[in-house]
Amino acid sequence: MVTRCVCYHKTFRELKKIARKTGARSVEELQQHVTFGRNCRRCHPYVRLMLRTGRTAFEVISENTDG
């Protein structure tokens, strides 16, 4: 399960609390309040899902390269 931004050691649970507190509704808005997702950015799709669904743990999203 994916539960965090590994580059900055921020769990999605932590990010969710900050998003609720600040009203952040996008990755970019949330990054104004906490540092995460600035290196590899692999957490971005998960943070978008978190913001949309409220979930904080996800199955690995695999990239489909079949076009």
pLDDT exceeds cutoff 70 at 64: no
pLDDT of 62 reads 83
CA distance 22 to 9: 20
Stretch 44-58: mean pLDDT: 98
Torsion angles phi and psi, residue 7, rounded to 5: -65, -35
Query: Using an 8 Å Cβ cutoff, are 27 and 43 in contact?
Result: no
Give me the residue spans of the domains in the chain.
4-53
CATH number of 4-53: 1.10.10
Query: Using an 8 Å Cβ cutoff, are 3 and 13 in contact?
Result: yes
Stretch 39-60: mean pLDDT: 97
